């Protein structure tokens, strides 16, 4: 009797059944698909984050360049636009290749602001620089440049 029970135990422990193999394969396939989807999503989010950072840098660069221009020329930049892939400095130097899919535009508006508490009106130009790609606005930066005193 001992031998018969012993043989049945060995036979039961010989290997996986077909059903167990199919279940293990299905679990493995689901895990591989989930990891692949997570890696793909992570890569896409990383690329979008890099694009937003480059957009903010491009907008900041143009705003800094505009703030060095003579005051009486600032309103002439209203409507200035550089299409995607054609970024260059105001002096005509091309941007690095990493900016290939970015564009930017400028809005210049003359306005008067009142300094609260002092009651002084200041005339100046508000510059808004917007960077964008083919799908959306990436960054929009604004600054007020007061009219120089005479």
Residue 3's pLDDT is what? 53
With pLDDT > 90 as the criterion, what percentage of the chain qualifies? 63
- Which residues is 105 bridged to in the sheet? 81, 130
In this predicted model, what pLDDT tens digit does every residue of 8-38 receive, in sequence order? 555 556 677 888 888 989 999 999 999 988 8
| Sign of the dihedral defined by the CA atoms of residues 86, 92, 96, 97, in that order | positive
Average pLDDT over residues 90-119: 92
- What's the pTM? 0.73
Q: How many CB atoms lie within 10 A of CB 99?
A: 23
Q: Which residues touch 128 (CB under 8 Å, ≥6 apart)?
A: 106, 107, 108, 109, 140, 141, 142
The domain ranges of the chain are: 2-146
Average pLDDT over residues 126-138: 95
* The token pair that represents 16 in the structure block: 């996986």
In this predicted model, what pLDDT tens digit does every residue of 36-58 receive, in sequence order? 888 888 888 888 888 999 999 99
């Amino acid at each position: 009797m001992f031998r018969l029970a012993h043989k049945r135990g060995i036979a039961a422990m010989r290997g996986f059944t077909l059903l167990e193999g199919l279940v293990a394969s299905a679990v493995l396939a689901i895990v591989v698909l989930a990891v692949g989807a997570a890696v793909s999503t992570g890569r896409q989010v990383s690329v979008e984050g890099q694009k937003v950072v480059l957009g903010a840098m491009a907008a900041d660069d143009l705003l800094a360049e505009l703030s060095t221009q003579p005051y009486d020329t600032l309103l002439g930049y209203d409507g200035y636009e550089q299409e995607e892939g054609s970024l260059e400095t105001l002096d005509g130097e091309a941007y690095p290749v990493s900016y290939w899919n970015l564009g930017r535009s400028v809005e210049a508006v003359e306005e008067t602001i009142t300094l609260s508490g002092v009651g002084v009106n200041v005339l100046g130009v508000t510059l808004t620089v917007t960077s964008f790609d083919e799908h959306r606005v990436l960054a929009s930066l604004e600054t007020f440049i007061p009219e120089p005193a005479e």
